[in-house]
Amino acid sequence: MENMMSLIECRKLTRVYKKGSTTITPLSDLDMDVEEGTFIALMGPSGSGKTTLLNLIAGIDTPTSGSLVVDGIEISKLPRSTLAHWRGENIGYIFQLYNLIPVLTAYENVELPLLLHKLTAKERHTKVSAALNLVGIADRHDHFPNQLSGGQEQRVAIARAIVTDPRIIVADEPTGDLDRTSASEILSLLRQINQELGRTLIMVTHDPKTTEYTQQTLHLEKGRLLESESKDSRPQAVRV
């Protein structure tokens, strides 16, 4: 429907850093709309602003100027404490190097974000078990990260990202540390989460092969968004 609000709306989004006397602008006047339930790959050379854009959408960083609206809320204007709460309710983050806590089991790593929510131990157990089952790692629930393969660690990290039932999942090079077979399994899992759970996924990647699993590819260069590539069989997910 025309004039319908997108899940994510970026308008003239700009991020500027100072490094000594040097000014660095990883993002400059970026306009982008993302519809709910899409799986998007962000590509571009190092320093093109991919991770900066991901962190802004995730509420980890704040823009220097411009606006970033998610589901009608201008998160670029939220106070830090409010933004932290919003992030815990709406965002799941998947890292390249998993970021699991080595002294916690797979179950405990997945349970960790739920400790910030008002849930009983039984409610947490139900959610953790469901997430571990979905990613196919329930039989390793009592293993520590150093007892798992890279692919298994990333499955635990994905379970941790989805256990709070976030609307948006962001992934920063989620297959960058994996062999081709494990990478394909993780990408298939992400596509399954997108299609079966209807979650919006935004993934930073350097690997063109990963775009076989996504609905649309966006290219960034020097902080600006270039023309997007969309699969013909999919609805247009992003307007730039």
Domain range spanning residue 84? Answer: 34-62+75-239
Phi-psi region of 58 (alpha: psi -120 to 50; beta: other; left: phi over 0): alpha
Identity (one letter) of the amino acid at 28? S
118 pLDDT higher than 80: yes
* Tally of domains within the chain: 1
Q: Does residue 15 fall inside a structural domain?
A: no
For 44-69, the pLDDT digits (tens) are 988 889 999 999 999 999 999 999 99
pLDDT of residue 207: 86
The CATH number of residue 204's host domain is 3.40.50.300
Question: Pick the residue with more confidence: 138 or 225?
Answer: 138
Q: How many residues does the chain have?
A: 240
Quote the CA–CA distance of 186 and 214 in Å, as a whole number.
13
Q: Does residue 9 fall inside a structural domain?
A: no
pLDDT of residue 234: 46
pLDDT of residue 47: 84
Q: What is the mean pLDDT of the chain?
A: 91
pTM for the full predicted model: 0.90
Q: Does residue 183 fall inside a structural domain?
A: yes
Q: What percent of the chain has pLDDT over 90?
A: 77
Mean pLDDT of 139-151: 97
Quote the CA–CA distance of 211 and 195 in Å, as a whole number.
15
Q: Does residue 27 fall inside a structural domain?
A: no
pLDDT of residue 174: 94
Q: Does residue 81 fall inside a structural domain?
A: yes
Mean pLDDT of 234-238: 48
